[in-house]
Structure 1
Amino acid sequence: MRTMARLYSLLLLLIVAVAMGVSAHHHSKDQPKRVSLVLTTGDIEQDGVTKPDSVLVNGTSPGPPLRFVAGDTVLINVTNAMTDKNATIHWHGLSQRMTPASDGTPLISQWPIAPGRWFEYEMKLTKEDIGTTFYHSHVGLQIQTAQGPFIVEDPHSPLEYDDERIVMFNDYHHESQSNIEKGLLADTFVWPGTANALLINGLAYNATSGPATIDVDYDQTYLLRYIGGQSLMYTTIAILNHTQKLVEADGTYLKPYRLDAVEIASGQRYSTLIKTKSKEEIDEDKINGCYWIRMESQWRSPAINGWALLRYPGCQNNVDQKQLQPPQTNNSIAILPKGQFGWLSSQFEPLPGYRHGYIYPSDDEVTRRVIIDTRQVLYGPTKKGNRWQEDNYIYSEEDTTQVPYLIELYKNTKDRPSYQRAVNPPPGVDVGYDNVTQTWVAKPGEVIDIVLVNRPSQGGHNVETHPFHFHSAKHWHVASGMGNFTDAALSQAREGGNYSNPIPRDTTNVWPGPGASITNQTLPDDGAGGWSLLRYRVREHESGAWPLHCHWAFHLVMGMSTTWVLGPDELDTKLDYLGDSSYSYFNQNVPSPHTKAHSGAS
C-alpha cells in the first residue's frame, strides 16, 4: 500500500512538473500560466512517529514550490481528492487586487471546495506581490501539512546573488490534525502541548534518518528564502560559523542588516544573503564543509530545538550524514540568543527606491483608529473550554455566516456587510463595526490605524505571541510596545529613531512583555503584555472581504480572527467570478473567469 501511495505521489508531481514546464515554454503576455494541485490524505513519518490522515499537496508535505514572475496571470486548479474533508488554498502574501474571490478563505471569499470538486484560482501578479510567499490550506489545521513555497520573481531585483535556497519551517505534533482540533474545541479543553519537533523543508533531525540538508558551493552568494509555516512555535534559526544579511521581509526589500540569527513566526517570510566560505577557509575549519543549522523555539514552554545541515561539496560527497553528530543533542539546552520583545523590527527600513507602490501614510492622513483587545476566554456551558476572542468576538467558520461574505455582497442580500450600518452603530458598538454581520467595514480613501492589544487570558492571566496576518494588500507596522497602549506609549516606542521608516508587510507580531506565559508573572484583567499598531490604506480596486487573524493555526481554529470588508459598494463591478452560478453555490466545480471566457461555457 505504501509503495502504491509513493507511485501515486510521483505521478502527481510529474503532472504538475509537465504543466508548469509547458506553461513556461509557451507563455506569452496574453497567455496565463497554468498549474494543477491535488489535495489528498496520507501518512507522514517524522521524528520517528507516523502521523496518519495528514493533508498532502500532490502527495507531499510541503507541496511543490511554485515560481512565477511579476506580471504573470496565473491559473491554479486545486482539486480536493479527499473523501471526507472540505478544503481551500490561500495564497499567503499576495494582494489579490481585482481578484478577491481567489483569496482562498472559506465562507469569506468562497465556499470551501467539497470532496471530489475543484476550484480554479485566477491571480494577476503585480509588483506588490514580488518576493517570498507561500500557499496553504485555510481549513481547520490542514495548514500543518498542506503548504508549499510560492515565489514571485522580480525582473528588476536590486539583490545580487549567484543562486538561492528555500528554507521552509514547520513544527510537528505526533497527534493527528483531527484529534488536535477536536481537543481545542471540546467543551473540556484539551491542549496538545508544544510541538514534538521542528522541521526544515518537511524534515526533522533524528539519529536514524539524519538531518535535512541545504547544499551550497564554495565562495558563492546565496539568497536564503525563509518561510514561516509553523502552526505554533516561534522559531530562531542560525547557521553556525556563518553570518547573514537580512534583505527582505514579507516581500519588502530592506536596507541590509547583518545578523547571526533570524527569528520568524508563522506566516512571516524573511530573505537573507549569505556569502559561503572558500575552499581554503573550509580546509582551515577541518570539519569537511559540514556546518550545523540550529533551530530553537521561543516564547513557549517547554521549548524544543532542532538541527539541519549546510553542506559544502566535501560534506556532500565524502561524509556519511547518518554518522554526523550535532554539537549537542540535549533538547533542553539553548545555544542561540533568547527571543527579545520586538526582535529587530524597530530597526527595519525599506530599501530606498523599491517600495512596490506602497507609500507610507503619515499620522495626519489617519482617518480613524480601531483598538482591538485580544484575549483567551473560558468558554462553553461548564466554562472548561477555551476560545480566543477579539473585542468580545469569537470567529467560527460554521457559525459566523451561512453564506460567503463576497457572495452576500454580490447578491445584495439584506444582511450583507454595510458601511452605513458600521459608521452609525447602536450604543456600545465601536464605530466601523457592523454588528449584524460581525465585520469591520471601510471604504476607499480611508487610512485606518489598527491597534492589537495583547490582553491576559481569563484562565492563566498571562500572554503569549500572536503573529497577525492581514489578507489583501500590505499594512505598515508602525510600532510595538510593552504594556497598555496609549498615545504616550506610542511616542515612547518611536523614541531614539525606532520605527522611523516603517515597512509594509502582511504579518506582524504582537509580542508578550509583562505576563509572558514563559515567566511566573500574571496580569490583572485590564493589563496588557504588549501591543502592535498596523496602519492600512484602503485604496481603489481593493474591494473584498479579508480576514485579520492570528496565524498560529491553533489560535485561529479557536476563534482569533476578524473579517474586514473593504469597499462593499464598489465590489460588484470588480468580480468576474460572481456572474458564475458555479461560484455562488456549494459543492460545485468552479472554473476561473479566464477559462470560462475561452471555453465557450455558459
Structure 2
Amino acid sequence: MIFFLPILACLLSLATALTQHVHDASFIPDAVLHVTAKNVSAGGVYRLTTLVNGTSPGPTLHLPENKVIWIRVYNDMPDKNTTMHWHGLSQAAYPFSDGTPLASQWPIPPLHFFDYELQLEKGSAGTYFYHSHVGFQASSATGALIVKDSGKLPYQYHGERIVHITELWNQSDSIIERGLTNTTFKWSGESLAFMVNGNGISNYSVADPSTASVDVIDVKPSRSYRFRFIGGTALSLVAMAFENHTNLEVIEADGSYTKPTPTEFLQIGNGQRYSVLFKTKSCKELKTLGKTDFYFQIETRERPAMNRDYAILRYSTDGCSIKPSSALPTNAYPKKAPLTLPPTVNGFLDYKLKPLKDNNFPTCKEVTRRVTINMQQVLDGYILWQDNNVSWVQDSFDTLPHLTTPRKPYLVSLYENETAYLPSYTAAVKNAGVDPETQTFPAKIGEVVEIILQNYGARAIDNETAGGLDAHPWHAHGKHFYDLGAGPGKWSADVMEQQLHGTTPVLRDTTMVYRYNATTQPNQASGWRAWRLRIEEPGVWMIHCHTLQHMIMGMQTVWVMGDAKDILTVPKLEVEGFLTYGGNVYGNATHHPTRIHFSELGL
C-alpha cells in the first residue's frame, strides 16, 4: 500500500486541472460515423451487414497530423454492441480511445454514442483504416483513414487512389460468431468474393444483378498515382496485380514511408497497408496495346481453395488522339484469367523494405528481454486458438467456460483495483512472459523487448486434424514495432541475426507469420516471425492475429505496458464514467455525454 501513496498524491494534484465537459449541441466533432446493421445487397448477395454511414466500406476520413481530433461514433443498432478501432494509430495519451473491448474500453451500448479523442502525432502521415473491434463486425464495418502530410511530400504524384479490399460473406456476423465460439463448432466457410471498394461479384450465386458489379478505377495517361492498398479482409491473405502494369514501387508500409522498392505484384495480409507509386501508360503505349481497360486481379493464398476476383483499371483518353477501346464488362468476370500470379511468397518484401529516414532501430545489444508467443490451434471436443496456452475471447465468460476471457475491459479492472489486476513482472519473467494470475504480458517502460511469434502444429485428439497449420497476420496496437523478418521451422537467434545483417528493419504494425507447409507434426514448430519493440507508450494494448475468425476463437494477447503510475495517470474519480458499461461518457437520445478531455493534461 505504501508503494501506491506517491501515485495517489500525484493523481490528486492533477484533479484541480481537470474540467468535465458536457458534449451538448455546442460540441462539434471533426467527423461523425453511424454504425448500423441492415439487410443490404452487395456483390449480388443479400446479407444482414454491419455498415458505417450506410455503406461498406464507410466514408474515407482525411485527418491532419499533429492535431487532436474528435470522432463521434453512433451505435444505431438496437441489439448489438460496437466500438471503433483506429488501426495503426497509437493512442497512448488517450487510454479509452483505442476501441478494444477486451483491453481499453467498454463497448458502445445499443442506441448510444461515444466521442473518440485522437491525437495524430507528427510523423504519422500515412495509410490507415478504422473498423469495429467487436466480433465479426470488422468484415464490413470499416473504412479508410488517411493521415495527411503536414509538410512537403517525400514523393510527388498527380493523384491518389484507394484500393480497400474486403470479403463478402453469406451469413450474418452473429451467426458466424456463434458458430466459431460454440462448443458445437461450425466453421464460417470461405468468403463468397473479394470486394474492391465495396464492389464485386459473388462466386457462388447472384440474387440481385444490380449490385453484382466490379469496381472501376479511373486514371489518366502519362500520370503518376499513389495507390493506397488496404488489407481489410477477414480471412484471406491475398495476391494481386494489374494487367500489363508491372512498374510498381512500394513507398509506404503500415504508415511508415520507405525507400522506393520495386515489385510487379503485391501480397497483403489482413490489416496490412501499402502505398505504391503507379505510373500509367502514355497515349502511345495505349495505342500500341490497343486497349484502355485493364484487369486488376486478386487471388486468395493459403486457403483450401483458390478464390479469384477482379476490378477494372480504366483510362480516360481525353487529350489522346486515340479512341477508347471497348469497355470491359463490369457485371461479369473474364472466362480466362489474364494474369498468372505467383504462389505464396513466404517473406514477401522481408529484408527488402528500407526506411526512408533513420528510425532509431535498436541493436541486439539494446534488447533487454525476449518473449516467445507460441500460437497453436487446439481441437479437443471444442476448437480454439491459444497463445502460450491462453485464449482471450470476447463476451463468453458465462456461456463458454472452456475459454479464458475477462469479465470487463482490462484497463477498467486496473482502475478499479490495480493491486489485484496489475500483472506481476517478476512472475511473468519466470513464466515465458505471461503473468499466470492475470494471463497478461507485462512490460516496463524503457525496455527493448524482442517478441518471437512461433507457429506450432495443431494439437488434436484425432489424427486427421492434428498438425494443421495456418498463416497468421499479427497486429500490434500502440507503438509500432521493428519487423525483424521471418523464417521456417523453429526460431533461431543466429539465423535471425544472419538474415538481418546489412539491413535496417522498417516500422510496421501488422506482419505475416507464414506456415511454410500445410501440416506438420502436432506440437512441432513451423514458421516464425520476430519483432523488436521499444516500450515507450504506457497502456493496455492488444497484440493479436488479425484473421477475424482466429481472433474470435481466442488468438489474442493483452499487454500491460508500464506500472500503475505510468498507466493510471488520471484520478479514478475523473474517469468514473469510462469505468461503467453505458456510463455518463456515453450519450444517447436522452442525455449528453460528460467527460474530461485528455488533451488538456498535456501528456
State the TM-score, normalizing by the size of structure 1: 0.85
Contact 2:65 / 2:121 at 8 angstroms: preserved in 1? yes
- What is the Cα deviation at residue 320 of structure 1? 5.3
1:365: Cα distance to partner?
0.5
Of 470-479 and 586-595, more deviation after overlay is shown by: 586-595
User: In the alignment, what sits opposite 2:307?
Assistant: 304
Q: 2: distance between equivalents of 1:590 and 1:319?
A: 56
Cα displacement (A) at 1:195: 1.4
Question: Which residue of structure 1 aligns with residue 250 of structure 2?
Answer: 246
Amino acid at match of 1:165: R
| SS, match of residue 132 in structure 1 | strand
Contact 1:543 1:570 in 2 (8 A): no
Cα deviation for residue 594 of structure 1 reads: 12
Cα deviation, 1:344-369, whole Å, max 9, x if unaligned, reads 2221111135x4xxx11110000000
Is the alpha carbon distance of 1:482 and 1:558 closer, same or farther for their aligned partners in structure 2, counting shifts above 3 Å? same
Call closer, same or farther: CA 1:596–1:325 in 2, change over 3 Å. Answer: closer
Give distance in 1, aligned partners of 2:302 and 2:39.
Answer: 30
Q: Does 1:138 align with 2:138?
A: no
CA distance in 2, matches of 1:467, 1:572: 28
Task: Name the residue aligned to 2:10.
Answer: none
RMSD: 2.5
Residues 315-334 of structure 1: pairs in structure 2 closer than 5 A: 322=329, 327-329=334-336
Q: Matched residues in 2 for 1:367 and 1:37: separation?
A: 42
Paired with 1:114 and 1:33, the residues of 2 have a C-alpha distance of 20
Preserved CA contact (<8 Å) 2:295 2:313: yes
Structure 1 residue 284 and structure 2 residue 291: aligned?
A: no
Give the Cα–Cα distance (whole angstroms) in 2 for the partners of residues 107 and 327 of structure 1: 44
8 A Cα contact 1:478 1:534, kept in partner: yes
| 1:456 aligned partner | 457
Q: In proportion to residue count, which structure has more helix? A: 1
Cα 1:291–1:575, aligned 2, differ >3 Å: closer, same or farther?
Answer: farther
Counterpart Cα distance in 1 of 2:283 and 2:298: 26
Q: Does the 8 Å contact 1:440/1:563 carry over to 2?
A: yes
Unaligned runs of 5+ in 1: 1-30
1:30-179 superposed matches below 5 A: 34-52=30-48, 54-156=49-151, 157-179=153-175
Q: Tell me the CA shift for residue 437 of structure 1.
A: 1.4
1:409 aligned partner, one-letter code: L
**Structure 1 position 193, deviation (Å):** 2.5
Pick from 540, 546, 567 the counterpart of residue 545 of structure 1: 540
Pick closer, same or farther for the CA change 1:199–1:329 going to 2, 3 Å: farther
Cα shift at 1:595: 7.6
Task: Map 1:529-568 onto structure 2 (within 5 A).
Answer: 529-539=526-536, 542-568=537-563
How many residues were matched structurally? Answer: 541
The whole-number CA distance in structure 2 between the counterparts of 1:323 and 1:423 is: 60
Deviation sequence 1:203-234 (CA, Å, 0-9, x none) = 11479543211111121110000000000010
Q: Does 1:402 align with 2:415?
A: no
Secondary structure (helix, strand or coil) at the match of 2:115 reads strand
Greater shift in the superposed pair: 393-402 or 116-125: 393-402
Q: Give the Cα separation in 2 of the matches to 1:557 and 1:296.
A: 24
Deviation at 1:192, TM superposition (A): 2.5
How far did residue 586 of structure 1 move?
A: 0.5
CA contact (8 A) 2:130 2:142 kept: yes
- Measured in 1, the distance between the counterparts of 2:102 and 2:185 equals 26
Alpha-carbon deviations, 1:228-271, whole Å to 9, x = none?
A: 00000101111111121111000111111111111000000000
Task: Tell me the SS of whatever aligns to 1:408.
Answer: helix
Q: Describe how 1:210-359 pairs up with structure 2 within 5 A.
A: 210-242=213-245, 243-287=247-291, 289-314=292-317, 322=329, 327-329=334-336, 335-353=340-358, 355=359, 359=360
Closer, same or farther in 2 for the Cα pair 1:596/1:304, shift >3 Å? same
Return the offset for 1:596: 4.3
Quick one: distance in 2 between partners of 1:317 and 1:178? 46
In structure 2, the CA distance between the partners of 1:182 and 1:573, relative to structure 1 (3 Å rule), is closer
Q: Give SS of 2:150's match.
A: coil
User: Is the aligned partner of 1:467 residue 2:470?
Assistant: no
Name the SS for the 1:461 alignment partner.
Answer: coil
Distance 1:57 1:292 in 2: 28
Task: Give the % identical residues.
Answer: 37
- In the other structure, the counterpart of 1:28 is none
Deviation string, structure 1 residues 474-509 (Cα, Å, up to 9, x no partner): 0011121110112233244336x4xx1111110011
**Higher relative contact order, chain-length normalized (CA < 8 Å, sep 6+):** 2
Question: Any residues of structure 2 matched to 1:498-537 within 5 Å, and which?
Answer: 500-513=503-516, 516-517=517-518, 522-537=519-534
Go from structure 1 to structure 2 and tell me whether the alpha carbon gap of 1:325 and 1:49 turns closer, same or farther (over 3 Å shift).
closer
SS of the residue 1:415 aligns to: helix
Q: Aligned to 1:182, what secondary structure does the other structure show? A: helix
1:523 Cα deviation (Å)?
1.6
Alpha carbons of structure 1 residues 440 and 128: separation in structure 2 relative to 1, 3 Å: farther
Partner of 1:15: none
Shift of 1:36: 1.0
Q: C-alpha displacement at 1:426, in angstroms?
A: 9.6
How much has 1:524 moved relative to structure 2? 2.0
Supply the distance in 2 between the matched residues of 1:365 and 1:352 (Cα, whole angstroms): 20
Question: 2:188 is matched with which residue: 186, 192, 206?
Answer: 192
- Write out per-residue CA displacement over residues 515-541 of structure 1, whole angstroms, 9 at most, x where no aligned residue: x22xxxx322342221001111111xx
- C-alpha spacing 1:180/1:558, structure 2 compared with 1 (3 Å): same
Q: 1:591 to 1:575 in 2, by over 3 A?
A: farther
Residue identity matched to 2:560: V
- Shift of the alpha carbon at 1:425? 5.0
Maintained 8 Å contact 2:161/2:225: yes
Residues 464/573 of structure 1: CA separation in 2 closer, same or farther (3 Å cut): closer
Q: 1:103 and 1:317, CA in 2 relative to 1: closer, same or farther beyond 3 A?
A: farther
The whole-number CA distance in structure 1 between the counterparts of 2:288 and 2:238 is: 31
Give the letter for the 2:481 counterpart.
H
Residue 173 of structure 1 and its aligned partner are, at CA, apart by: 1.8
Per the TM alignment, residue 68 of structure 1 is displaced from its structure 2 partner at its CA by: 0.9
The whole-number CA distance in structure 1 between the counterparts of 2:120 and 2:548 is: 26
Structure 2 residue ranges without an equivalent (≥5): 1-26, 398-404, 460-464, 598-603
SS at match of 2:389: coil
Shift of 1:85: 0.5
Residue 414 (structure 1) shift: 3.7
Q: Retained in 1: the 8 A contact 2:584–2:593?
A: no
Partner of 1:494: 500
CA contact (8 A) 1:210 1:321 kept: no
AA matched with 1:477:
D
Give, as a single letter, the amino acid of the residue that structure 2 aligns with 1:489: V
What's the CA shift for 1:334? Answer: 7.2
Secondary structure class of the residue paired with 1:347: coil
Query: 1 CA distance for matches of 2:226 and 2:572?
Result: 37
What amino acid maps onto 1:467 in structure 2?
A: P
Counterpart residue type for residue 258 of structure 1: P
Instruction: Tell me if the contact between 2:96 and 2:578 (Cα under 8 Å) persists in the aligned partners.
Output: no
- By how many angstroms is 1:584 displaced? 1.4
- 1:488 counterpart SS class: helix
Q: Match of 2:64, as an amino acid?
A: V
The 2-side partners of 1:66 and 1:576 are apart by: 33
Deviation of residue 199 (structure 1)? 1.0
Amino acid aligned to 2:346: F
The structural deviation recorded for 1:75 is 0.4
